[in-house]
Amino acid sequence: MSQEQQDDPHYKKHVTELGDTRDIVASHDIYSQNGIKLLSAGARINSTMYERIICHKLNAPLEQSLSISNPVSSSDLSELAQRILHEHPLFERVHRTLPENFSLAEAVGKVQLNAPLGFKLAVARDRMEEMFSHGVETALICGFLGHQIGLDTQQSIQLVTAGIFHDLGELHIEPELLGRRDSLSMSERKHIYAHPLTIFLILQEFPDLYHPMVSTAVLEHHERLDGSGYPSGINQKKLGRLGRLLAVAEVVSSLYRSGADAEPSRIRIMLKLNMHHQLDAAAIGHILSVLESDKEEAAAKSVGIGKLQGIVQKMAEQFSAWDRDYQYQMQGCTDSKRLIFLNERINMLKCALEDAGLNFNRTEMIAEMFCDDTLEALELQGLAQEFVSKVRDIEHELKRRWPSLDQPSIDTGDEFIRSWIKRALKLTAS
Ligand SMILES: [Fe+2]
Ligand SMILES: [Fe+2]
């Protein structure tokens, strides 16, 4: 399984096409798994070799058989980290919080890279630049969290290293799928769910440097404390400390990268919403202390309180519609597991929203409570947007656990689930 995942056509395509513009050579003879010699040591790689390489399973991963003229080095990572700290306000804020004698760029420069990972990062840098930069941004947040939480030097370096590597498994996914992540079918989504495992399998080959600490953190970067994450759906009892911290750093970095969602208010909301259920509360507390209320940002926005009140009212109706019909549906369905599971997730979402500041019993109070406080209103608006994104996460989790939900069925419980989710997803658009 390991070899198959690592030798997929998409990664081979990245590497052979990169050979058209960079010097990539075979560092030793390359053989297929059944002993056919495919390339001699010293041969230059380019896109004309793709067809030949794609026909065979290789006896070693490409990055262990090739060298590139300009592999990524620790000092390259440190330089990029320095640029991000200067150019991006969130990272500049994060850095300002730390003592003057602590340099985040230096922390990133302490990452140890062996030749295969230096090669793989070079492929990421030249073929998926956004993912590469996102890795460095995540590593910076990891460095910040490691310092604030009080990790020892070795653990801090391991956490920063995991930040750099965490999405390298995406090099093995068809680029077209990555380009439309929000509109994937369940079978297409499976490829996305595999990316933490792909890079875990690569890292576990290097017990001296990366396994098990870095590799395990990377494997867990999309897992959540309540068991709603992937690829394994493990919960807080099994999640490691570095994996929990990396998950927070990854979420912060992803939110920051997502353009319109990059405002500190949106990041604050998202983190508050996840504080008790999905992500490490202590780590989130440290991030929230950096994203303290920014009155200027609030003053620059205007929020329609009436519209906002309408949205919160609709959220309240969604929850009460579920409560009203759930017991009835339980009696009529053939398999209650899915309904019980969704009931649990919906109640958790409602609790999280209430913990973060919404009161579904008193929606009429919103205008009175917040008309003079644009910042709070902005946060409420963020909560409503987050409701939809959480429902989408729940839908994906349901389909991961029960892929048959994607297919039409006559089960009335399934139909009830589908229609509740459909209405919930339309909420902020209406
Ligand atoms: Fe990521
Ligand atoms: Fe990821």
Looking at residue 300, its pLDDT comes to 44
Interval 128-139: pLDDT, tens: 999 999 999 999
Ligand with an atom nearest the CA of residue 250: 1
CA-based torsion, 31, 37, 42, 43: positive or negative:
negative
Task: Give, as one character, the DSSP assignment of residue 31.
Answer: E
CA distance 178 to 193: 11
Interval 65-77: pLDDT, tens: 999 999 999 999 9
Q: How far is the CA of 383 from the centre of ligand 2 (A)?
A: 23
HSE on the CB side for 165, CA within 13 Å?
37
CATH topology of domain 74-290: Hypothetical protein af1432 (1.10.3210)
Q: How far is the CA of 326 from the centre of ligand 1 (A)?
A: 36
Task: Give, as one character, the DSSP assignment of residue 212.
Answer: T
Coil, helix or strand for 89? helix
Ligand with an atom nearest the CA of residue 170: 2
- Token pair of 190, please? 């499976």
Write out the DSSP string of 252-312: HHHHHHSGGGGSHHHHHHHHHHHTTTTS-HHHHHHHHHHT---HHHHHT----HHHHHHHH
State the Rg of the chain over Cα.
24
Coil, helix or strand for 30? strand
Ligand with an atom nearest the CA of residue 134: 1
Which of 33, 34, 53, 35 has its CA nearest to residue 43?
53
Burial of 258 (0-12, 13-18, 19+ CB in 10 A): exposed
Q: How far is the CA of 318 from the centre of ligand 2 (A)?
A: 31
Per-residue exposure over 314-349, b if at least 16 CB sit within 10 Å of its own CB, e if not: bbbebbeebeeebeebeeebeeeebbebbbebbebb
Coil, helix or strand for 66? strand
Give me the residue spans of the domains in the chain.
Answer: 2-68, 74-290, 303-429
CA distance 392 to 132: 26
Per-residue exposure over 77-114, b if at least 16 CB sit within 10 Å of its own CB, e if not: bbebbbebbeebebbeebbeebeeeebbbebbbebebe
Coil, helix or strand for 58? strand
Ligand with an atom nearest the CA of residue 138: 1
Ligand with an atom nearest the CA of residue 253: 1
Q: How far is the CA of 112 from the centre of ligand 1 (A)?
A: 20
Burial of 393 (0-12, 13-18, 19+ CB in 10 A): middle
Q: How far is the CA of 195 from the centre of ligand 2 (A)?
A: 7
Mean pLDDT value of segment 185-212: 95
Mean pLDDT of the chain: 87
Ligand with an atom nearest the CA of residue 248: 1
The answer, yes or no, to whether residue 4 has pLDDT greater than 70, is: no
Looking at residue 381, its pLDDT comes to 66
Are the beta carbons of 59 and 31 closer than 8 angstroms? yes
Question: Which region among 64-78, 148-162, 336-350 has the lowest average model confidence (pLDDT)?
Answer: 336-350
Q: How far is the CA of 139 from the centre of ligand 1 (A)?
A: 10
Coil, helix or strand for 97? helix
Task: Give, as one character, the DSSP assignment of residue 45.
Answer: P
User: H-helix or E-strand containing 126?
Assistant: helix 115-127
Q: How far is the CA of 379 from the centre of ligand 1 (A)?
A: 25
Coil, helix or strand for 24? strand
Interval 97-118: pLDDT, tens: 999 999 999 999 999 999 999 9
Task: Say if residue 231 is preceded by a cis peptide, omega within 30 of 0.
Answer: yes
Q: How far is the CA of 54 from the centre of ligand 1 (A)?
A: 28
Interval 15-65: pLDDT, tens: 999 999 999 999 999 999 899 999 999 999 999 999 988 888 888 899 999
The answer, yes or no, to whether residue 127 has pLDDT greater than 60, is: yes
- Token pair of 81, please? 């980290």
pTM of structure? 0.84
Which of 59, 181, 172 has its CA nearest to residue 123?
172
Q: How far is the CA of 336 from the centre of ligand 1 (A)?
A: 35
Looking at residue 368, its pLDDT comes to 56
CA distance 155 to 212: 12
Looking at residue 304, its pLDDT comes to 59
CA distance 267 to 32: 48
Q: How far is the CA of 257 from the centre of ligand 1 (A)?
A: 10
Q: How far is the CA of 246 from the centre of ligand 1 (A)?
A: 10
Q: How far is the CA of 156 from the centre of ligand 1 (A)?
A: 19
Ligand with an atom nearest the CA of residue 130: 1
First to last CA, the chain: 46
Per-residue exposure over 44-57, b if at least 16 CB sit within 10 Å of its own CB, e if not: ebbeebbeebeeee
Q: Say which residue the tokens 């075979």 belong to.
A: 26
